[in-house]
Amino acid sequence: MLEIDGRKVTVSGWRGTAGHNWGSEHADSWVWLHAAGFGAAPEAWLELVLARISVGPARSPWTAMGALSLSGERILLGGLGRQPGVDARPDRLTADVPSPGARLLVSATTDDDDPVAVTYTDPRGGTRTVRHAALASVELILHRPGNRELALLSNRGAYEYGTRQGMPGIEPQPLPEG
């Protein structure tokens, strides 16, 4: 049960996710994408992280890690040695994510009225600008050898884009203390 402004909301049986990334520092740039409630496959969900890390003065290529759950089957996405094609921006993403036995094309867009931008302090110093949208539209196209491609659409996605490079034209809001 949640209590919001004195009003109680029962959430028993709701689908959801909670996660936390651990490490000694934030990635140089990253995308976190979660989606559920795909119309043609209401039980399906996607959890995907795309990241670039700093290696000295250079930045690594994008790496993808995640999973797509579809009809009870979990399809692992990305992994070391499976380089995705990524165009990540604060308000949208297009990615071509390889996996063992499949390829997933991902598109996510956000409504400019929804997101919030904040500054994260990195444990090793410096900051990252992060833009998070709790209401993103997510389109997936799954390619599997020998199968017809499957297209899925959800308006129940969460999209987060973070980077050390900053986001011109986006003014981060302060995080509350504590």
Q: In terms of C-beta density within 10 A (0-12 exposed, 13-18 middle, 19 or more buried), how is residue 33 classed? A: buried
**Residue 19's pLDDT band (boundaries 50, 70, 90)?**
low
Say if CB 61 and CB 28 are below 8 A apart.
no
pTM: 0.83
**Residue 168's pLDDT band (boundaries 50, 70, 90)?**
confident
Q: In the block, which residue shows the tokens 């990241």? A: 51
Residue 22 reports pLDDT greater than 60: no
Sign of torsion over alpha carbons 100, 160, 151, 73 = positive
- Could you count the other beta carbons within 10 Å of the beta carbon of residue 132? 18
**Residue 114's pLDDT band (boundaries 50, 70, 90)?**
low
pLDDT tens per residue across span 42-99: 999 999 999 998 888 888 999 999 999 999 899 999 998 899 999 999 999 999 999 9
CATH number attached to the domain at 28-163: 2.40.370.10
Cα–Cα distance measured from residue 34 to residue 144, given in angstroms and rounded to the nearest whole number: 21
Domain map of the chain by residue range? 28-163
Residue 174 reports pLDDT greater than 80: no
Q: In the block, which residue shows the tokens 């930045």? A: 59
